[in-house]
Structure 1
Amino acid sequence: MSAFMHLLRNFFPKWCHPHPEKHLKHHIFRQLQTNRPTAALVAIKPSEQVLPKCRFMQYRRANEQVKRLGMVSEDGNRMVELSSMTCAASNMMDFIQQRYCMVSLLDSVQFMKIEDVDAVDLRLLPPIDAPGKIIGVDCNYVDNCDEQHISIPREPSFHVKFASAITGALDNIRAHSLAKHIDYGCQLAVVMGKKCREVSAKEALNHVFGFMVVQDIVARDWNAPLGGHSMDTFLPLGPTIVHRCHVPDINNLWIKTIVNGEERQTGNTRNMIFKIDFLIHRLSQYLTLCPGDIILTGTPAGSGAFRHPSCYLQPGDLIESEIQSLGKMCNKVVNCYSQ
């Protein structure tokens, strides 16, 4: 039995199937994908629910080192491989650069080979792994400012992370020996789709490719020049990048973090101080944003540092991160010597 399914048995016995090995991939994607949006947000015909949508994932098939690009259905049960059936690139960075027409892609899905996820032996990879820039914004939720007893900022403050921190939606987070106060913070991430410089807030969202879930893990006690944001494995992201055409209202999505079954964070993107369009506009005044660049938009209240008493991550902890319509991740914290 896989370590991941042991993890499910320990913390979420209601998820487990009598034959977990046979249904592992089915479980992974059903749990990673969120519940279907309500009819008030998006009208989906029942017959369309099983068709893969523009929810992009990177993966490897068993016993292969070749990276593949695919789309998965909204319920997480069905998938198509794009990299062998279309002229789409085999990795997300190149695919974004291709500026593929999503309408044409959705129209062509019905003619592709559609597979059951639980019938495919695959390893899920981060949906993007080589962005040029990863930029985070500090204190961007009203309740996060309130819990720190600080004033709401008048201007956004940014920090950077590096691509070497990226890990997958089911991968382990290593508790580095240099860090004793390791904290979590679920965030909505923006993936840029077009190059832009000095873009207006009105036009900003037209330059976005899609959105995904991230955990911005940080060592709060590590004050080296690069800070505690970019240690290896400190940026779980995924499970998919959801194209913006599937997210009708990015400013009204709930966010959750659950640690060892306890809900630690709950918030909504409507409580952002600086909205996504303004963040893109603001950043583009100082630097050129390129396809594949990632913007982390801040975290709501509930991080471990600001609880009473403080509650930091320890080896053995299990973190679930979920954002409405975007998906769900499940990462275990392990000691620094684990692979």
Structure 2
Amino acid sequence: MKLLRFGEKGAEKPGLLDAEGAIRDLSGKIDDIAGDVLTTQGLKKLAEIDPNTLPKVEGEPRIGAPIGLVQKFLGIGLNYSDHAAETGLPVPEEPIVFVKASSCICGPNDNVLMPDGYERMDWEVELGVVIGDPAKRISEAEALDHVAGYTICNDVSERRLQVGGPGEWFKAKSYDTFGPMGPWVVTKDEIPDPQALNLTLDVNGERMQTGSTSTMIFNVAQLVAYISRFMTLMPGDVISTGTPPGVGMGRKPRIFLKDGDVMHLAVEGLGEQTQKLVRGN
């Protein structure tokens, strides 16, 4: 299944994408794509619904972030060896886990804000892992059983705050709109191997990032199991699993985003995103 949320910001409705690519309205069945809906039992109930019995959504509504409540939005730093190399940092021996404020999450095609004083904004296409069943101190062998599905994340960052400045990743990556997510959550039954997905990102039509999740240092199962040692992962929590090489900071000369730039992201099997950078606070 491809689960999504559609409608104006703050008033999104739950939906799913049918086999013909049409949006079907789930609001008569569930309140939102969140919480228990994302557990094994919740997804099983949704899978039993015939999409043809759901109202078809006409037109081209705005697509919102695919999860209504993300309690924890976690990122993984330097999880591709070639990305670590381009930043001049060593390959980590254990996963580097950081937090992005959940308030930074926006729809996959919403504008990304460029606030005053932010002059080194950068892009990062990433595989997002959506937690289904709660996970606490689980093993790698059972980790994927606790995953509901996968989505695309753009880990937008202000490098001035991350490196060469205060060095605080949380502040560098948490401004409003710095977490485009979606367009949908693809349930794990449609993604048999999360370590075999191609990722790309273009800026103004020029390819900047090309990679594959097969080159991740720590795979999805390892990440879920590792993080569950330090906190209980809950339904709807999202782990953004790191980015392949090609970020602006790693280029020579460096390239950073400008007002009006357009980012286009794609992950195999998970759809596409497009965001325009706009000046604003």
Residue 12 (structure 2) aligns with:
67
**4+ residue runs of structure 1 moved beyond 6 angstroms?**
none
- Looking at structure 2, the residues matched to 67 and 150 of structure 1 have their Cα atoms a distance apart, in angstroms, of 41
- Looking at structure 1, the residues matched to 94 and 25 of structure 2 have their Cα atoms a distance apart, in angstroms, of 43
The SS at the match of 1:80 is: strand
- Looking at structure 2, the residues matched to 109 and 332 of structure 1 have their Cα atoms a distance apart, in angstroms, of 36
- Looking at structure 2, the residues matched to 232 and 66 of structure 1 have their Cα atoms a distance apart, in angstroms, of 18
Residue 188 (structure 2) aligns with:
244
Greater relative contact order (Cα < 8 A, sep 6+): 2
For 1:173-221, what per-residue CA distance to the aligned partner results, in whole angstroms no more than 9, with x for missing partners?
A: 0111131100100000001001111100000000001100010001010
Q: CA deviation at 1:74?
A: 5.2
- Looking at structure 2, the residues matched to 303 and 121 of structure 1 have their Cα atoms a distance apart, in angstroms, of 31
| Aligned with residue 141 of structure 2, among 202, 206, 212 | 202
- Looking at structure 2, the residues matched to 272 and 227 of structure 1 have their Cα atoms a distance apart, in angstroms, of 25
- CA 1:145 to 1:90, structure 2 compared with 1: closer, same or farther past 3 Å? closer
User: How many matched pairs?
Assistant: 276
For 1:252-282, what per-residue CA distance to the aligned partner results, in whole angstroms no more than 9, with x for missing partners?
A: 0000000000000000000000001011111
1:59 counterpart letter in structure 2:
F
| Aligned with residue 176 of structure 2, among 216, 225, 232 | 232
- CA 1:143 to 1:179, structure 2 compared with 1: closer, same or farther past 3 Å? same
2:127 is the counterpart of 1:188: yes
- Looking at structure 1, the residues matched to 76 and 15 of structure 2 have their Cα atoms a distance apart, in angstroms, of 30
Q: Identify unmatched segments of 5+ residues in structure 2.
A: none
1:245 counterpart letter in structure 2:
D
The SS at the match of 1:286 is: coil
- CA 1:75 to 1:315, structure 2 compared with 1: closer, same or farther past 3 Å? farther
Residue 171 (structure 1) aligns with:
110
- Looking at structure 2, the residues matched to 187 and 202 of structure 1 have their Cα atoms a distance apart, in angstroms, of 23
2:271 counterpart letter in structure 1:
G
Residue 120 (structure 1) aligns with:
59
- CA 1:292 to 1:321, structure 2 compared with 1: closer, same or farther past 3 Å? same
For 1:65-96, what per-residue CA distance to the aligned partner results, in whole angstroms no more than 9, with x for missing partners?
A: 743111103553x2221121x3x233434522
- Looking at structure 2, the residues matched to 138 and 325 of structure 1 have their Cα atoms a distance apart, in angstroms, of 23
Contact kept in structure 1, 2:198 and 2:211, CA below 8 Å: yes
- Looking at structure 2, the residues matched to 217 and 129 of structure 1 have their Cα atoms a distance apart, in angstroms, of 20
For 1:149-193, what per-residue CA distance to the aligned partner results, in whole angstroms no more than 9, with x for missing partners?
A: 433221111111011111111100011113110010000000100
Contact kept in structure 2, 1:93 and 1:128, CA below 8 Å: no
Q: Identify unmatched segments of 5+ residues in structure 1.
A: 1-53
1:244-323 paired onto structure 2 within 5 Å: 244-323=188-267
- Looking at structure 1, the residues matched to 2 and 235 of structure 2 have their Cα atoms a distance apart, in angstroms, of 17
- Looking at structure 1, the residues matched to 172 and 24 of structure 2 have their Cα atoms a distance apart, in angstroms, of 38
Residue 89 (structure 1) aligns with:
31
2:70 counterpart letter in structure 1:
P
2:38 counterpart letter in structure 1:
I
Contact kept in structure 1, 2:40 and 2:148, CA below 8 Å: no
Residue 101 (structure 2) aligns with:
162
- CA 1:98 to 1:254, structure 2 compared with 1: closer, same or farther past 3 Å? closer
Residue 131 (structure 1) aligns with:
70
Contact kept in structure 2, 1:185 and 1:217, CA below 8 Å: yes
Larger radius of gyration: 1
Contact kept in structure 2, 1:67 and 1:91, CA below 8 Å: no
- Looking at structure 2, the residues matched to 82 and 283 of structure 1 have their Cα atoms a distance apart, in angstroms, of 32
TM-score (norm 2): 0.91
Q: CA deviation at 1:231?
A: 0.8
- CA 1:95 to 1:171, structure 2 compared with 1: closer, same or farther past 3 Å? same
Residue 7 (structure 1) aligns with:
none
2:281 is the counterpart of 1:334: no
Percentage of matched positions with identical amino acids: 31
